[in-house]
Amino acid sequence: MAKLEDLRKYYWLKKEVERLEEKLLEIDTELQHITMRYTINYTKGGTKDKLGDLITKKVMLEEKINKRLEESYRILAEIEEVIKALEPRERYLIRLRYLENKNWFEISGIMNYSIRHLKRINKKIINEYFND
């Protein structure tokens, strides 16, 4: 069963994966440049080591991304299982607050409820569904 910690953790895992994917894109771009230079300057040397280092970094980064994705998918599946049992407005509140990381002011504007009322609903959901 999902816990409050899982709700909080999911958003940040998602952000970390996005950051890692950006790094991966940077490495891919650098690899393309080095590969082009390597084919042109094949006999000059030095490029081969940098190419190998970048390929190693890329593989390690891809493994890290995959681990984080697996963890976030597992957590999301647990959260979704709990969310299914909620009323539509409760489900919407939990998605906005924890999966999209909206603040209370934003949620209040979106859902047209007072912040105080939203916090009461949230507390009820957390106590009922996300505590051990």
Residue with tokens 């909080």: 8
| pLDDT at 45 exceeding the cut of 90 | no
- Predicted pLDDT at 39: 55
Q: What is the pLDDT of residues 115-126, one digit of tens each?
A: 999 999 999 999
Is residue 118 within 8 Å of 104, Cβ to Cβ? yes
- Predicted pLDDT at 53: 81
What pTM does this model have? 0.68
Mean pLDDT (the chain) is 85
Q: What is the pLDDT of residues 76-102, one digit of tens each?
A: 888 889 889 999 999 999 999 998 999
- Predicted pLDDT at 49: 66
- Predicted pLDDT at 41: 54
